[in-house]
Amino acid sequence: MKKMNKRDFLTKAGIGAGAAAAAATIGAPYVHAKNKPIKWRLQTYAGASLAEHVIKPSIDAFNKAANGEMIIELYTADQLVPTGELFRAMQRGTIDAVQSDDDSIAAPVDVGVFGAYFPFASRYSLDVPTLFNHYGLNEIWEEAYSEVEGVKWLSAGAWDPCNFTTKEPIRSVKDLEGKRIFTFPTGGRFLKKFGVVPVTLPWEDVEVAMQTGELDGIAWSGITEAYTVGWADVNNYYLTNNISGAWSGSYFANEDRWNELPEHLQTLFKLCMDSSHYYRQHWYWWGEAHYRTTGGKLELTTIPENEWKTIEDAAYEYWDEIAAKSERSAKIVKILKDYAVTMQKAGAPYRY
């Protein structure tokens, strides 16, 4: 028998360890395959054509990066649950996660009224992440949702502005009177002050309602969505004035489902939310200019600035009405007012 010296032993031991490690590595996919992946059902507020931009790329990326450990099944507006029932469905665990605004899903929190299009709270899309990340809204939203069982608020981001897309032209505030408009709950309550008749419909029914005359217009988006989802095909005019510079939407999850995720999958989901927020920043910014200048389907109209200011002034009075409803609402309104003053003092390009 050949005597093994120290060098031979170390060499052979290294080969053996390497082979064992290689075997373990080769076997790993088989071990993972035997374990069922975590599955989530996530419903977005958006219809199928819009979801292709506002969420699907990030969910596709998540499913790829999760490498078989987790799969998120994406459902579009009202596909599993009516949008107005999403919060309760998430609490019950009927669905695992939601992308929407607090207002539309009837979140039972005082901050819910500030979701979607809180009138004149923002001028540009960058205002929303700035307010959440640098002016304390993240902490306020976390506090509010910690008081509600079963739902975890995860992240807020910006979408497009809220303009009117209509059959008949709007060139003065008076032209708003009597118009039946598909819009968001809070935005609708505010617009009633100017004679607008807010109408609530399932998202997928809006285009047909425009064709049948049930609706006179839409105040649910900017021009990018009007062209993307087909609303530019059933309307004639686009009002360049908006009641808010950006929609404020969020991601939510069933609290138990979120807590069950290992930390690395929570981190991955957060990164994909950020990816979605970033994509929308440039997609909407591009689209608002692109379709105004080259769209060709909608004629642009504008209410004179001095007349539009009456609506803006009414919005600030509305802020005070909301501030009186709770201490937390008052705190948010103060932040919005302080932010507006800061932006005004900063001048161009923040405010003109």
pLDDT at 24 over 50: no
Residue 70 phi/psi, 5-degree rounding, is -150, 145
pLDDT at 207 over 60: yes
If pLDDT is split at 50, 70 and 90, which confidence band does 64 have? Answer: very high
Q: What whole-number distance in Å separates Cα of residue 312 and Cα of residue 146?
A: 33
Note the pLDDT of residue 35.
79
- Domain residue spans of the chain: 37-113+135-158+248-286, 162-246+295-346
Q: What whole-number distance in Å separates Cα of residue 324 and Cα of residue 113?
A: 13
Higher pLDDT, 115 or 10: 115
Note the pLDDT of residue 29.
40
> Smallest Cα–Cα separation from 244: which of 94, 59, 84, 119?
119
CATH of 162-246+295-346, one of 3.40.50.300, 3.40.190.170, 3.40.50.720, 3.40.1010.10: 3.40.190.170
CB 184 within 8 A of CB 117: yes
Note the pLDDT of residue 141.
98
The percent of residues above 70 in pLDDT, for the chain, comes to 90
> Smallest Cα–Cα separation from 269: which of 36, 69, 89, 49?
69
Helices of type H across the chain: 6-34, 48-54, 56-65, 86-92, 127-134, 137-146, 185-191, 206-212, 223-228, 255-260, 263-294, 305-323, 327-346
| Residues in CB range of 293: below 8 A, 6 or more apart | none
Identical fold for domains 37-113+135-158+248-286 and 162-246+295-346, yes or no, is yes
Q: Which two tokens stand for residue 131?
A: 């307010």
Q: What is the mean pLDDT of residues 333-352?
A: 96
Mean pLDDT of the chain: 91
Q: Assign 282 to helix, strand or coil.
A: helix
Distances (CA, A) of 204 to 26, 104, 224: 48, 15, 17
CATH of 37-113+135-158+248-286, one of 3.40.50.850, 3.20.20.370, 3.40.50.720, 3.40.190.170: 3.40.190.170
Note the pLDDT of residue 192.
96
Residue 154 phi/psi, 5-degree rounding, is -110, -45
Q: What is the mean pLDDT of residues 23-27?
A: 38
CB 170 within 8 A of CB 237: yes
Q: Assign 217 to helix, strand or coil.
A: strand
Residues in a beta bridge with 300? 238
Q: What is the mean pLDDT of residues 182-192?
A: 94
Range in 12-16, 45-49, 77-81, 131-135 the model is least confident about: 12-16
The percent of residues above 90 in pLDDT, for the chain, comes to 89
Q: What whole-number distance in Å separates Cα of residue 249 and Cα of residue 74?
A: 17
Q: What is the mean pLDDT of residues 326-336?
A: 98
Q: Which two tokens stand for residue 238?
A: 């686009």
Angle at 327 between CA 200 and CA 254, to 5 degrees: 55
If pLDDT is split at 50, 70 and 90, which confidence band does 232 have? Answer: very high
